[in-house]
Structure 1
Amino acid sequence: MGGSSTRLYSDLTPTLSSSVPPSLHTEDSNLDPDFCQEQKGSPLCPPDPVELLRQCEEALRDRAPRLHRKFTQLTDGDSAPRRPIRVMQWNILAQALGEGLDNFVQCPPEALSWSRRKYLILEEILSYRPDIVCLQEVDHYYDTLQPVLAGLGYSSSFCPKPWSPCLDVEGNNGPDGCALFYDQTRYELLDTSNIRLCAMRIPTNQVAVVTMLRCRTSGRCVCVGVTHLKARSGWEWLRSAQGSDLLRHLQTLVQKQDSSSRDVPLLVCGDFNAVPSEEVYRRFSTSPLSLDSAYKKLSEDGLTEPEFTSWKIRPTGECCTTLDYIWYSPGALRVDAVLNMPTEEQIGPNRLPSFSYPSDHLSLVCDFSFKEEEE
């Protein structure tokens, strides 16, 4: 992964330095263990995100070209907010599943190593600098994502699956789950809940994190949820039940917070493991909470989801489908920009994951603003 090293944030998160590939440990290495020291969990010198991004890119300099994606701007410069609410939704692929159970037949084993994937994951987040990050299949929360992003000013919540399939993989790093990160310089935490989703009142293995945030400058509140519903065909009924349970929790939290007639806007991100024709999608699109899917904004008619958010090859064949969504409250929030999907040529014939991209799911990134800001 390159002959010369970069200054890695070794004290901020020991896993990053301890598993740096041997090719990075050269005599002329400029690894600096004092780059960012922590004392009692609070960084003495928070790392510069631009510098950390540069370091990730340097560590990955021998890889294939990155999937460069551009934003589609939906508002003109005059009506765009000074600083939008940037939201990322991403199933990052649990390390234990990628190496142990998912069986990506066209992906070289070296591309699935954590020593490489962690830089690709951090690079993706650092490239877009979202204010709110919603992740699924997180099995390196405590040793990598939480300490690194905390050093950049993010607070977070993590909810592991009670029976995570990662635990069946030898050498696993613990259960995978959902994680929600937010920029604590912009948002104040009002409430958060870790939810085990139910179907017909029976607890399931799928979870959600729901958080109520208040903007420190405007005082406006927003309720953010992240979830990961049951995978595989044949389980459509369970996904529908889990989605209904999540909608009930969201309505309860919003009503608990909002004492006025104006509803608190919602942002609900997730890998729903459901195509747009499924019942759970219909439940969200017709819910009394009045939600809409932000990525429909990329279509010409504004009514159609992208052709794919996940593209992989397994022994059973090639799977190119839309499973991931960012739902929002169109009555209170405006979509200002949406990150485009890469082309088939950019993804490449072996599909995802790959040396240039760490997951079988593509990240979704949207810029939102409160509609009052445009008046």
Structure 2
Amino acid sequence: MNSARRCSALLSQMSRGGSATRTPAAAAAHAGRGGASPRLNPSGAVGPVPAPACPMGGGSSSGGGRLFGTLARALNSTPMTQPVPYLEESPDHDLEGDLAEVDPHQLLRECEQALQRRPARPHRDLVRPVSTAPCSHDNGPLVRVLQWNILAQALGEGKDGFIRCPPEALNWHERKYLILEEILTYQPDILCLQEVDHYYDTFQPIMASLGYHGSFLAKPWSPCLDVEQNNGPDGCALFFRCSRFTLQASAHLRLSAMLLPTNQVAIVQTLQCQLTGRQLCVAVTHLKARSGWERLRSAQGADLLQSLRSITSQRSGPWGASSGPIPSIVCGDFNAVPSEDVYRRFSSSPLGLNSAYKLLSSDGQTEPAYTSWKVRPCGESCSTLDYIWYSQGALSVDRLLDIPTEEQIGPQRLPSYHYPSDHLSLLCDFSFREEPRRLM
């Protein structure tokens, strides 16, 4: 089956139950927007349009496990088995090795076709930090990392109570297209996700068909399981592009606090760049939510940092000599504002970590005003909770995806018809710094 037909077959599983026709005005906007300008509703006016009633969506997660059942069987010659959780070293099953890749551009076009009745994501620029000189790329091509809490479907519909978000905007039948559209638009080399409750029926087969290796680790007591007709527990997922990296080691961690296991997890993987041979340690996590749990978050962060120090402490250089710690990138929804202790732990860690999004500020020292902005019955919450930490001695930041303005986010806040999650995606292009020359 050729790439275009594979894309159509893949997305046909996602398209049952509803279709729409692009109006001439919308078609003109689509031709010129490049994925950036607002989609138009059928009358030609900019703004959200209620999603059509869809038998497989209906505002419920029910049937979510069936959406990609046929696709998963087609993509995988062996059954997808969930990895044994909470082992310090958990081998990842290589289910993607023999898959024929689909065309991401074709898949993106079909996502846009499915979303033609919704307003587009407002444009976000990739900007260069003020204090950073353009990268020469002498040490290899850029490594693009995307971090995102995508909002678990069961929580969005069943627990979170977003009082300004229309229920139709949370319909999984279309919301998943918005998530995929964002990923396909930026095509990261490394993708770190939290609140993933559709890993095996959606993200694993889709990302595998695009040439990514995936790993997933569920929370042991996921709140999704309290929601009727849930799609299983939510957890963290980490994907990397197989054409760029090879997996050298993988650790699935259940984070502890005061020596007691908690409900939060992390995936830590050591990758090797196929183009440069450089090693990179990547971690994804999601710390405890809610105010009043600051000490627990701090303890969880300390536990993760201790594991990272152990994992990155040694790497092999030429002739087996140690060449220093492995550079690290740590992505996650920390559920912590910059004034919290867990933030200070990471910024002062011996790993030499810096928060990439501070570099958007004029002084390079200030986090964005928000990465999450939502309205619940208890009130409005606008705060920075999500971070991309990196080893500033070994990695440099070339570009960052900017933060939407209040006007772009709109009065509904997050999520909405054009933002599928209550968290914004973060994206950073990294390059390796030149390694210091060593005496022979």
* TM-score in terms of structure 1 length: 0.91
Matches within 5 A, 1:1-375: 9=7, 12=10, 17-24=12-19, 38=75, 40=77, 45-74=100-129, 79-80=136-137, 83-257=141-315, 260-372=322-434
1:23 match: secondary structure: coil
Given that 2:314 and 2:322 are in contact with CA atoms closer than 8 Å, whether structure 1 keeps it comes out as no
C-alpha contact (below 8 Å) 1:80/1:336 kept by paired residues: no
Deviation at 1:255, TM superposition (A): 1.9
Does the 8 Å contact 1:7/1:55 carry over to 2? no
Q: For 2:135 and 2:280, how far apart are their aligned partners in 1? A: 24
What is the one-letter code of the residue matched to 1:127?
T
1:46 Cα deviation (Å)? Answer: 1.6
Q: 1:77 offset after TM fit, Å?
A: 5.4
Contact in 1 for aligned 2:280/2:328 (Cα 8 Å):
yes
Distance 1:9 1:123 in 2: 14
The unaligned stretches of length 5 or more in structure 1 are 1-5, 27-32
- Residue pair 2:7, 2:106 contacting (<8 A) in 1 also: no
| Contact 2:142/2:431, CA 8 A, preserved across alignment | yes
Deviations 1:300-352 (A, max 9, x none): 00000000000111111111100000000000000000110011111100101
Structure 2: runs of 5+ lacking an equivalent: 22-69, 78-94
**Per-residue deviation, residues 24-70 of structure 1 (Å, max 9, x unmatched):** 299xxxxxx99x95362666642111111111011001101312100
Output the CA distance in 1 between the equivalents of 2:331 and 2:210: 22
Separation in 1, partners of 2:203, 2:262: 26
Distance 1:354 1:215 in 2: 37
2:136 maps to amino acid = S
Say if 2:198 and 2:231, in contact at 8 Å, map to a contact too: yes
The runs of 4+ residues in structure 1 deviating greater than 6 Å are none
Alignment partners' CA distance in 2, 1:285 and 1:245:
15
The TM-score with structure 2 as length reference comes to 0.78
Report the 3-state secondary structure (helix = DSSP H, G, I; strand = E; otherwise coil) of the residue aligned with 1:136: strand
- Alpha-carbon distance in 1 for matches of 2:435, 2:283: 23
Pair 1:332–1:71, CA change in 2 (3 A): same
**Displacement after TM superposition at 1:10 (Å):** 6.4
Higher normalized strand content (fraction of residues)? 1
Q: Which is greater in Rg?
A: 2
Distance 1:354 1:265 in 2: 37
Q: Which amino acid aligns with 1:52?
A: L
- Secondary structure at the counterpart of residue 50 of structure 1: helix
Deviation at 1:18, TM superposition (A): 4.0
Q: Could you report, residue by residue, the CA deviation over 1:201-227 in whole angstroms, capped at 9, with x for unpaired residues?
A: 100000000000000111100000000
